[in-house]
Every structure is written in C-alpha cells, then in structure tokens.
Amino acid sequence: MTHHHIALIPGDGIGTEVLPPAQRVVDAAGARHGFTCSYTAYDWSCERYAREGAMMPADGLDQLRDKDAILLGAVGYPGVPDHVSLWGLLIPIRRGFRQYVNVRPIRVFEGVESPLRAAVPGEVDFVVVRENVEGEYSEIGGRLNRGFAEEMAVQEAVFTRAGVTRVLDYAFGLAARRDRRLTSATKSNGIVHTLPFWDELVAERGAEHPAVVWDQEHIDALAAKFVLDPARFDVVVASNLFGDILSDLAAAVAGSIGIAPAANLNPERDFPSMFEPVHGSAPDIAGRGIANPLGAIWSAALMLDHLGHRAAADDITAAIAAVLAKTDVRTPDLGGDSTTAEFTEKLLELL
C-alpha cells in the first residue's frame, strides 16, 4: 500500500482548529483509495516565537526535507508583527523548497451565496497562479536615516527570466489541461521596467503553447472584472503581489475566504510542496470552534492530487460540493450555525 509521510504545521489561531478536520478527511479518503499517511506535527507558531524567540528552529527546513508534503494551518497572531511571522516561517519554507508556484483555485459552489449577483454557481471556476518566490516580495532594499526628516525606505522588485518563465510555463500547462484560456495580470503602463519584461515573457511562452488563448489585463481593470464578470476566467497568472491580492479578492467572490485553498508547489519535486488555506489565523473567532475547515480540507485535496491520488482528491471536492448543495450544515461565515466539528462530521458522512 502507498504510504505518505506528512508534516503538519497547525500554526496559530484557527490554524490549529482546521488542520485536524483536514487530517481526518485525508485518512478517510486514504481508506477508500488504498493509501495511508503518517504525520509529524510541529508546534512552529507565534506562541513558539513568544517562548523561544523564533517561529521555527534553525534546522527547521532540514526537519521537513524528507517529508512527502507539508500541510499548514495559518500563522500570525496579535502581539507578533505580521512580517515576523511570515518571514520567520512561511516565506523561508516557500523559498527554501523552491515552491515557486502558488495555485489558488476559486469556485462558486451551489448553496453558497456569493456577494456578487453575477456570480452563478458552476460558472465561476478558475485558478489564480501566483509567482511565489520573487517579484515584489523581495529582501533587497533598506531603510536609511531613521528618525530624521529625510528618513526613507527602498524596496526592489526582482523579476528574473528564469523565475518568470517557469511560473508562466506552469500556468500555460495548467490552462492547456483546463479550458485553454489564460489571462496575465500586468501593470506595464505604470511600472515601466519589470512588467513590460513580464509581458514580453508571457508573449514568448504563449507562442510555445499555441493551444492556449491568452490575453493580458492591467491589474486595476482586472480587479474590476473579477467583480463584474468572474465567469470569464479560466487561469489567471500573476506576480507575487498581484497574485496575493487577486486571490483574496477571488476568495471573497466565492463567498468566504474560509473556503479558499492554496498549493505552494515545487513542480520538479526536488523538495516537499506545502498546502495551506488562503485565510489567516482569524484571531477574532479563534478558540470558539466555529472556523470553516473547508479551506484546509480543500488544500488537503490539492495535496493528495499532488501526491498522485487524483480520484481521492476528486472525491473530497465532490463531498465539499455535496455538503454545500444538499445540506444546510455550514459554519457561521457561510450563514449557518454549525460548529467546525459538526460540519466536518457531515462532510465525512458524505465522503
């Protein structure tokens, strides 16, 4: 029987509440599809930072290196600056394991009310592919003259031919397996060096993928179209910052950020990939047992797909669709009054 060794990093806040449901769903899917998983859990979090001065140990990446995949809840908590929690854990894992593609699927499910009248269930079904290791989220820059009137901050965006090309190739390949439509997010009218370069590389890679019809939109207009006509998209490819913003917007279009999943992929499989819901640690509802576990569960389905269990992943997304379409069991963010545990039971029943 196939066996996988999974690293679990629940993190902070509701991260610790949504990972156990995801783990149960993975085990249930495994029992049906003939694979097993063992888990090693890590307490890396803001709590650990407060206790020991670091989000994870110095050899953290080495502890994860031999795992088949990483399932992460969320990190961040009031009292620890967000750039500390992000740069102390998530970003080192994404970069150290060359997880240069961030895949964020968006679907409006039947039974979930989108805030948009135009978002018809079944019609809105697209994927944001975000560049995940360079671009605007760069360590290059600095601060000068702190505390003086001439104080300044400089941050350089870094776009490399290799880095942009590989994420574009992933996105075009994904579009070729879906509806063969790709939209590139740009802003080459205002940002005159990096984004014209991005556009050139899109045209170059597009020529290598003739089956895919592609276009490009400036990020401001694209944001408006996500709201006005979300059904028009199939694969949207974007730089690190643009993809981050677009995928939260898209998650809101889908009805709740609590549903949205993400995969941080190292497509070459030289390192483990990491799967995590898009949402954060939600300190406003943490500890009450009402977090929506769907983002974590769907992320676990993406993990199983990556590990070669497509049928198991499809079963899980079908169970998600079924619980939303056929029952009124749902957590408060989706207008229901069920707890995380009640919702998970119902989903397992349908699985």
Q: How far is the CB of 78 from Mg ion (least distance, A)?
A: 17
- The residues in 250-289 that bind ligand NAI, with binding defined as CB under 6 A, are 257-258, 276, 279-285
Verify binding: residue 337, ligand NAI, rule CB under 6 A: no
Contact of residue 68 among Mg ion, ligand NAI, none (CB under 5-8 Å per partner type):
none
Contact of residue 99 among Mg ion, ligand NAI, none (CB under 5-8 Å per partner type):
none
Q: How far is the CB of 42 from ligand NAI (least distance, A)?
A: 14
Contact of residue 257 among Mg ion, ligand NAI, none (CB under 5-8 Å per partner type):
ligand NAI
Report the catalytic residues: 137, 187, 220, 244, 248
Question: How many whole angstroms separate alpha carbon 201 and alpha carbon 86?
Answer: 29
Verify binding: residue 276, Mg ion, rule CB under 5 A: no
Cβ proximity of 237 and 167 under 8 Å: yes
Verify binding: residue 244, Mg ion, rule CB under 5 A: yes
Q: How far is the CB of 9 from ligand NAI (least distance, A)?
A: 10
Q: How far is the CB of 168 from ligand NAI (least distance, A)?
A: 24
Q: How far is the CB of 68 from ligand NAI (least distance, A)?
A: 21
Contact of residue 244 among ligand NAI, Mg ion, none (CB under 5-8 Å per partner type):
Mg ion
Contact of residue 261 among ligand NAI, Mg ion, none (CB under 5-8 Å per partner type):
none
- The residues in 1-30 that bind ligand NAI, with binding defined as CB under 6 A, are 14, 18
Which x/- pattern, by CB under 6 A, does the window 84-123 give for ligand NAI? ------x---------------------------------
Question: How many whole angstroms separate alpha carbon 256 and alpha carbon 28?
Answer: 25
Q: Which is nearer to ligand NAI, 216 or 344 (CB)?
A: 344
Task: Please list the residues that pair with 237 across neighbouring strands.
Answer: 129, 184
Q: Which is nearer to ligand NAI, 151 or 337 (CB)?
A: 337
Residues in contact with Mg ion by the rule CB under 5 A: 244
Residues in contact with ligand NAI by the rule CB under 6 A: 14, 18, 74-77, 82, 90, 257-258, 276, 279-285, 291-292, 295, 331, 333
